[in-house]
Chains A and B, each alone.
Chain A
Amino acid sequence: MPEALIHVQPDFANWTCPLPLADYPTIVMGHGGGGKLGNELVEHLFLPAFRNAALAHLGDAAVLELAAGRIAMSTDSFVVQPLFFPGGNIGALAVNGTVNDLAVSGATPKFLSASFILEEGFPIAQLAAIVEAMAAAARAAGVQIVTGDTKVVERGHGDGCYINTAGVGAMRSGIQIGPQCAEPGDAILVSGTLGDHGMAIMSVREGLEFESQIRSDCAALNGLIANVLDAAGPSVHAMRDPTRGGLASTLNEIAQASGVGIVLQEKSLPVRTEVQSACELLGFDPVYVANEGKAVFFVAPEAASRVLEVLRAHPLGRDAARIGYVTADHKGILVARTAMGANRVIPIQIGEQLPRIC
């Protein structure tokens, strides 16, 4: 690809895509065919949005510089419906999801790939909005999208737009973090309110309207996590972003991986009133509802207040809370202390939560 083409519209702020894609206001099979139409997508949509040196070469692979040391790699596919929802869209989700998976592994996210599977007939304007959101999310997270691919499937064989992202990051040194590293006595902290993403999706998908709109918490957590690790890295034993399956699944997984018990103080769980109300209505428990911009930290008890302070000082951690602790009792099992003072087990859910009858 001639270098000059990349700079057709070098200023993303003034980028006026989808010209000249306007000839085809919707995706046609040819956009995935490797011919002129596909090139147009790359030149006029992906390159101006994601532009960076590695991508500009448009080679079969991006060639990257990373400092010596261990790297982390992760991949995730995104099939969310609806594609656009309050607080985000599939594009922002695809970038932030992979960034967060790297960050909670103790890595500094650096580079992402982005692959699109588009359905014939998908509006280019929507694709442009998704791509723009990915570019904005990548900028906010300080990562580059350095390689990608587009395939088009026939109408009826896809759901508009699927995105896969993979990412690599440089592992931080001086930390020992993993789901198997939680220790009895550890304090458990969560960076903010629970269930926002899942209930935002649910409310749009099902046309449920509540008094105030529930917004997804979709966000990149690498900045927040870097602050925590800078302040108390060696004291952090485990981190996770509680996405699908919610907090309950994440904590159960860590309890089992580390061979420890976990006690949750139900009263301490931060849940927005509108999310709690929506959950009540549908018979859901917020601990099982997905988050896309929250992290859970297992930290040595003496570092807990410091970490909480650091979390609350960050815009994404204002509602952070200490929600429980690790115990040597009831290994592999998550127990909640109810507001009544009783105990109940919170198991992993079998499938999705199902809206109840009455």
Chain B
Amino acid sequence: MDLSQHLVAFQVIVPLLSAPLALLLRPRGLAWAATTAAAALSFAISLAILQQVLSGQEIYYEMGSWAAPYGIALAVDAFSGLMTIIVSGAALAALLVARQSVDKQIEAERQPLFYSAWLLVMAGLLGIVVSADAFNIFVFMEISSLASYILIAGGPDRWALPAVFKYLIMGTIGATFYLIGVGLIYMMTGTLNLADMADRVSQVTELKPILVAAGFITVGMALKAAVFPLHVWLPNAYTYAPHAVTVFLAACGTKVALYVLLRFDFVVFQPNLAGHEIQFGYFLMPLALLAILIASGVAVFENNLKRLLAYSSVAQIGYILLGASFVNMAGMSAGIMHFFNHALAKGTLFIAVAALAMRMPGLNLSELAGAGRRMPVTMGVFVVGALSLIGVPGTAGFTSKWLLISASLAQGTVGVALVVAILVSSLLAVIYIWRVIEAAYFSGPADSEQAVQEAPLQILIVAVTAAAANIYFGLNASLPLTLAEQSASALLVTAP
């Protein structure tokens, strides 16, 4: 039997079936090992899939060989390939950090449950990005959401409970909206397969329900993706989640929802609704702009490091949406490029945060005093990640910002205003990052020669690798660029 053709299925099955396994592994450390092994395997699978996708081939897989309208179909193109890399890579990196970090935050007897939920989140997120079917996307979305509530609430901080409750309510509204939208389309077309849907919607004469569906799906996914002003659940969820979970979710959680938003819109709605690209652009561009400016501004005044970075994420989601709202090649590839680069930068930053949390008394800026002397490697990694977030040349973040500004300039007069907004937000990023740097390097007991007390070696290795990746992709962006351009052209092929 040739396994390679079933890789797509394994992408989801490996974490899904490992989840109950992890639950059974009571002895200390075993659950973590099994989860990490599953994530590593999953990452390897996504690399193999990427190999196929990069050669220009799109993968279409039918579960159990049941044909599409009845069976479950999976489809992977460049965009989903990119997403599987981001999700499985983020999960793996976060798990490598998690061993010591989770040991510190979660009692041993609850760890198997925790890791089992982790695998379910992974399975759900990966399932979403490989599904070719609107309803399966919903199912996987629910799996990942429910499990992620467990992860976020799993930490020792009781503030996580109200945070996760808010997330649960918002997340459920989002998922319900999505389901209502899918239901409406199903009512009009009788199919759930995305490609099928696109075909049949073109034959529908009464477009009002479709239009309503587009609204529901867009808003629902915007809620899940924390698009401003629907972001209110995100800062506290990120802040009070266990640190390793924040690494995982911050790198890929909201991006998967954005993926669904873009995929649905460009496959089903763009080709069939006249003038939809204008609705899409005019709806999302102002929101993106507000996110970019306001969330960055709020981050400047935050005192908790994790919440500060969470608000920065809201702003970065704005960058992605801004690119997408141009509905052209340049903007879309800039936005999709930022999927990758922001995952890299924010993942690196939160890995550094997890390392800081191992040794520092707390994560308020005032509690980080002296971190620069005490944890030089960790803070070095943080600085690299921060430079990438700001978009300093030589780091990954610069490349997508360059593309985004170039794409904005091509928009004419409006573009100049957009460029100004992007730059203002970058400068705000300089400020909020600088507050962290000054707290870590220049405050606290100045000249008392504090002993170096670094995070455990395993975390440091992951952190340094992540920082190195930020620089590598800043100097050679061909891989993410190729993927982003392929994804963008695949999405835009249907756009008018």
Q: Do A and B come from one complex?
A: no
Give A residues with C-beta under 8 Å from B.
none
